[in-house]
Amino acid sequence: MDGRILSLFYICIGFIWWFSVFTFGLPVTILFILSKNIRSVFFSWVYATIIEPIQREKIDATRKKLFQILEDSLGNRDNSVPLEVLEIGVGHGPNLKFYPENCNLTVLDKHKFFEKEFSKNKKKYPHVSYQKTVIQPAECMRGVDDNSFDVVVSTFLHCSCDDSVAVLQEVKRVLKPVSGSFIHIVTDYPLRIRL
Ligand SMILES: C[S@@+](CC[C@H](N)C(=O)[O-])C[C@H]1O[C@@H](n2cnc3c(N)ncnc32)[C@H](O)[C@@H]1O
């Protein structure tokens, strides 16, 4: 290739590079540094659209174990009475397919932008009776009544929430005393605890 054309080519690439850095890269980087909320929305989006779909097969095996623990703990529950369930940090709803029959499901997430994906997803699982979505941080679940749920579900939330102790206190508040269970996955370990 002619030397002058090659130089022109490099100049154009350099120009495009600097132009993108100053018009897009720099403002976005500054926003990321300054705003915790933007970082949190971005990482939640990356999780829902890239990480979760790529790892779905492996993660679903863990989710299945978690809901099996729930089924086992329910023993011979009266299936005609709906199970009141709250899922916190629900995201786009990857747990929906694992819920047992006859659940009244309330979901909570601190980001509103998941609602659209969640709404699409919930139509695929009519066996779950969706009640409502609450947009609130799990550390302070305003709008969720005390002693109102049989089960609280949380999967892969504690790695992204700000204050796990406050979340556990809120879970304890909203669970029915004595019978209520909190089932959760932290990293790879499904667990059920009574708070
Ligand atoms: C890693 S994703 C997990 C999504 C889903 N539970 C799953 O198992 O794939 C974390 C989710 O929790 C939400 N989240 C993070 N911190 C939260 C908080 N403090 N309160 C409520 N939701 C929160 C995020 O918006 C996101 O939807």
How far, in Å, is the centroid of ligand 1 from the Cα of 37?
A: 13
* Tens digit of each residue's pLDDT (9 = 90 or more) over 75-89: 777 778 899 999 999
* pLDDT tens readout for residues 125-173: 999 999 999 999 999 999 899 999 999 999 999 877 889 999 999 999 9
Q: What is the pLDDT of residues 162-195, one digit of tens each?
A: 899 999 999 999 999 877 788 877 766 777 776 6
Q: What is the pLDDT of residues 33-58, one digit of tens each?
A: 888 888 878 887 888 889 889 989 98
- Tens-digit pLDDT profile for residues 92-125: 999 999 999 889 999 999 988 888 889 999 999 9
Ligand 1 centre to CA of 157 (Å) is 5
Cα–Cα dist 42/39, whole Å? 5
Q: What's the average model confidence in pLDDT over 60-70? A: 93
Give the pocket of ligand 1 (CB within 6 Å): 44, 47, 52, 88-91, 94-95, 109-111, 114, 137-139, 155-157, 160-162
Total-model pTM: 0.84
pLDDT digits (tens, 9 = 90+) for 11-20: 999 999 998 8
> CB burial class (10 A; 0-12, 13-18, 19+) of residue 125?
middle
pLDDT at position 94? 94
Given this model, what pLDDT does residue 2 score? 74
